[in-house]
Amino acid sequence: MKKIAIQGFKGSYHEIAAKQYFGTEIHLVERDSFINLFKSLDDGSADMAVMAIENTIAGPIIFNYSLLSNSPYSIVGETFLRIEHCLMALDGQSLDDIHEVHSHPMALNQCIRFFANYPHIKLVEAVDTGLMAQEIANLQIKGRAAIAGVGAAKSFNLSILKHNIEDNTKNFTRFLILEKNKIKIPNANKATISFGIAHEIGGLHRVFSMFSENNINVMSLQSTPFVGNAWEYVFHLDIAFDNDTHFQKSKQWLQNNTINFKILGEYVNGI
């Protein structure tokens, strides 16, 4: 049985994503932060990991790009999960009884419009969606609600006060599948890469021109600070390709024309 590290606990979206990708016959290694998720790979308590990287409403988790760039681990896959947020609390309560909602910051950020209609409710950031639902159930906390998926409400016998409170129904989170060892993925047609470029006019333009010449589709672009080099940045790109020869040519160009070029993973496009 594979040991899969997740950021979160029973009832979390990370658990759902892990089981969506690997199936239900896995051993979950629950961690309270993304840093500790990576540590579980470091110390061997997990074989692989599932890590959220971006959401269609809240945007990218920039910190995770930095974690990934500074780790020896490789992306070997991805999965996309439709996020359906539910507001849940102990039985017998209504929205008027709720004074606080505790959940992960990403979940709170995805429901801002809903809570604008309930100014009496205080939003409190927490480490995990499912864990906050579990805490309400275990401690029988009245006046508090959690944002999590339907599965969390069922697992902890909570009542759902409102279904689908996310700001947009097209709410998806992309999760990366991380492997301790770099392995060759058959039919890979997507890659995540990182690199820096010199401070000169047209530097990034030349990179994009090279991709265009080789029929490489840049699907996303993020940047993080280059630690120790003030006002310099590391660029993180997701690219898709149909021709491996063009991809190999692009890798060689990046190796010769960028700074600290790194392949964070080559895998099959999950879309």
pTM of the complete model: 0.88
Residues 215 and 175 in one domain: no
User: What's 153's domain CATH number?
Assistant: 3.40.190.10
Q: Averaged in consecutive runs of 10 residues, what is the pLDDT profile of the chain (271 residues)?
A: 93 94 96 95 96 91 91 96 96 96 93 95 95 97 96 95 93 95 88 90 92 96 79 89 96 95 95 80
Residues 7 and 79 in one domain: yes
Residues 52 and 175 in one domain: yes
Contact 233, 261 (CB under 8 A): no
Residues 175 and 48 in one domain: yes
Contact 49, 20 (CB under 8 A): no
Residue 104 DSSP label: -
Residues 51 and 175 in one domain: yes
pLDDT at 230 (0 to 100): 61
DSSP string covering 57-69, please?
TTEE-HHHHHHHH
Rounded Cα gap, residues 14 and 6, in angstroms: 6
Residue 59 lies in a domain: yes
pLDDT at 150 (0 to 100): 93
Active site positions, annotated: 173, 175
Residues 141 and 92 in one domain: yes
pLDDT at 231 (0 to 100): 60
Beta pairing class for 190-196 and 233-240: antiparallel
Residues 6+ apart with CB under 8 A from 201: none
Contact 64, 19 (CB under 8 A): no
Buried residues in 40-68 as b, exposed as e (16+ CB within 10 A): bbeeeebbbbbbbbbbbbbebbeebbbbb
Rounded Cα gap, residues 125 and 101, in angstroms: 9
Tally of domains within the chain: 3
Structural domain for 9, as ranges? 2-83+171-179
